[in-house]
């Protein structure tokens, strides 16, 4: 009898554990599915996603792109632009919040998700839940980096986004020297993405977005860790609601942000939707230097801006590579001093030599890749300059034909 009771109890415990445990969903979202799990009560009946469609239309184009539906592609973005680069991070009661320098930044950096493809470049998938910054993090003693969470990573209320079992392409990461993480002009310190694969090997990946007191908090990189890396005191700001998109006042201990509550709408759609093939023609990819909207910029100015940008990227690349080599040398000296025997010392030196060879190989590859990209971008600028010269001639020919 006791034996039977024991078996029954084991069965009940096993069944209960199966009912309680909910496995983390690692698959991508289903077509047309929302990537926020309901319920989430921080919504308002006042505005729906059509507000995004109307507000963002003057600043970009809307494309019907499966499986996400209507996605938005920004226009007139500067050279080398990536999401979460034109602005800076602020420590708040919601964790790390992105404070954009772009007028439309209140929307696509705090709602929804970003993704990239070769034809459209960076595009934004609208969402209805406000967050301080929908990014995942990487860090080391030297570097701090972040990347937009892709649409396929679910945000589950009560669980949040804490697992890192999802893939982020190396080129999507934004890395800076940790000393500059709190700089208000971060875009001047962002490494060219050719450096990313090497830096990823140096850094640890962490995602920690959760709900606390009905607010989305992003604490993927701890405040104490940032203090150690930057060696700076960090002020904490309390977020207050603002009533205008254009206004973001910052005062003593408080930061005003515009974060309207948005609800879903199955019937809402942009007033103007561009076909994918037309979008490819109007916006020439996400990592190219030329966009069709650059026509207003004089050719000479365009060439100078590109030259300055290339020089800045080379400086950042070379400086960070030199720092990595120096870091290895310092590590070798420390390990030499602590080596108790000559055999240990020889092993340390051998391992150091192998690391230096591997690092030099990575650095050479990075320089080769950035040189190749720069050459391609120069060719595109030259081609656009030639096309601009031909444009008046084409118009003259058309007028003569009409006559």
Residue 28: pLDDT band with limits 50, 70, 90: very low
Domain ranges for the chain, please list them.
Answer: 23-265+273-284, 299-402
Least confident of 65-79, 124-138, 350-364: 65-79
Give the three-state DSSP class for 239: strand
The mean predicted confidence, pLDDT, of the chain is 84
Cα distances from 390 to residues 2, 383, 384, 395, in angstroms, run 94, 11, 10, 9
pLDDT at residue 12, as a whole number: 44
pLDDT at residue 78, as a whole number: 87
Residue 244: pLDDT band with limits 50, 70, 90: confident
pLDDT digits (tens, 9 = 90+) for 370-386: 999 999 999 988 888 78
pLDDT at residue 398, as a whole number: 56
What average pLDDT does range 232-238 have in this prediction? 94
pLDDT at 39 over 60: no
pLDDT at 164 over 90: no
Contacts of 352 (CB under 8 A, 6+ apart): 328, 331, 332, 335
Q: How far apart (Å, rounded) are the C-alpha atoms in residues 203 and 224?
A: 17
Residue 45: pLDDT band with limits 50, 70, 90: low
Residue with the larger pLDDT of the pair 293 and 116 = 116
Q: Considering the chain, what percentage of its residues have pLDDT values greater than 70?
A: 80
Least confident of 115-119, 121-125, 157-161, 170-174: 157-161
pLDDT at residue 238, as a whole number: 95
Contacts of 178 (CB under 8 A, 6+ apart): 139, 140, 141, 142, 143, 144, 229, 230
Residue 399: pLDDT band with limits 50, 70, 90: low
Residue 85: closest CA among 213, 157, 160, 171: 171
pLDDT at residue 2, as a whole number: 45
What average pLDDT does range 89-105 have in this prediction? 95
Backbone angles phi, psi at 122, to 5 degrees: -75, 130
pTM: 0.83
Cα distances from 181 to residues 98, 106, 184, 227, in angstroms, run 12, 21, 9, 10
What average pLDDT does range 352-356 have in this prediction? 95
Residue 152: pLDDT band with limits 50, 70, 90: confident
Contact 85, 190 (CB under 8 A): yes
Least confident of 31-40, 197-206, 208-217, 278-287: 31-40
| Residues paired with 90 in a beta bridge | 97
Q: How far apart (Å, rounded) are the C-alpha atoms in residues 294 and 314?
A: 24
């Amino acid at each position: 009898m006791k034996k039977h009771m024991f078996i029954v109890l084991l069965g009940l415990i096993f069944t209960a554990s199966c009912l309680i445990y909910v496995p983390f969903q690692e698959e991508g979202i289903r077509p047309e599915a929302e990537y926020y799990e309901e319920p989430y009560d921080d919504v308002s009946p006042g505005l729906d996603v059509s507000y995004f469609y109307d507000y963002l239309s003057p600043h970009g184009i809307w494309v019907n792109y499966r499986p996400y539906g209507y996605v938005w592609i920004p226009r007139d973005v500067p050279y080398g632009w990536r999401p979460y680069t034109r602005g800076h991070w602020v420590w708040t009661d919601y964790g790390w919040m992105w404070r954009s320098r772009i007028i439309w930044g209140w929307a696509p950096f705090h709602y929804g998700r970003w993704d990239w493809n070769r034809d459209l470049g960076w595009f934004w998938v609208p969402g209805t839940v406000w967050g301080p910054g929908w990014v995942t993090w990487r860090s080391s003693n030297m570097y701090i980096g972040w990347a937009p969470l892709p649409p396929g990573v679910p945000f589950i209320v009560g669980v949040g986004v804490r697992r890192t079992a999802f893939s982020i392409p190396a080129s999507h990461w934004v890395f800076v020297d940790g000393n500059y993480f709190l700089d208000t002009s971060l875009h001047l310190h962002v490494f060219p993405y050719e450096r990313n694969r090497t830096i990823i090997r140096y850094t640890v990946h962490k995602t920690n977005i959760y709900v606390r007191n009905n607010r989305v908090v992003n604490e993927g990189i701890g405040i104490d860790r940032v203090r150690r890396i930057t060696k700076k005191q960090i002020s904490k700001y309390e977020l207050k609601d603002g009533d205008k998109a254009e206004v973001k006042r910052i005062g003593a201990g408080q930061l005003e942000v515009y974060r309207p509550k948005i609800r879903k709408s199955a019937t809402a759609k942009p007033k103007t939707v561009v076909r994918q093939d037309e979008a490819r023609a109007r916006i020439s990819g996400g990592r190219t230097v030329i966009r069709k909207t650059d026509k207003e910029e004089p050719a000479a100015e365009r060439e100078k801006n590109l030259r300055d940008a290339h020089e800045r990227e080379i400086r950042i690349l070379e400086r960070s590579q030199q720092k990595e080599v120096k870091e290895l040398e310092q590590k070798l000296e420390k390990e030499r001093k602590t080596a108790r025997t000559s055999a240990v010392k020889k092993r340390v030196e051998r391992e150091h030599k192998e690391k230096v060879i591997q690092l030099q190989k990575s650095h050479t590859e990075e320089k080769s890749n950035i040189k190749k990209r720069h050459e391609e971008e120069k060719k595109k600028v030259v081609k656009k300059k030639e096309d601009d010269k031909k444009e008046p001639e084409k118009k003259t020919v058309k007028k003569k034909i009409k006559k």
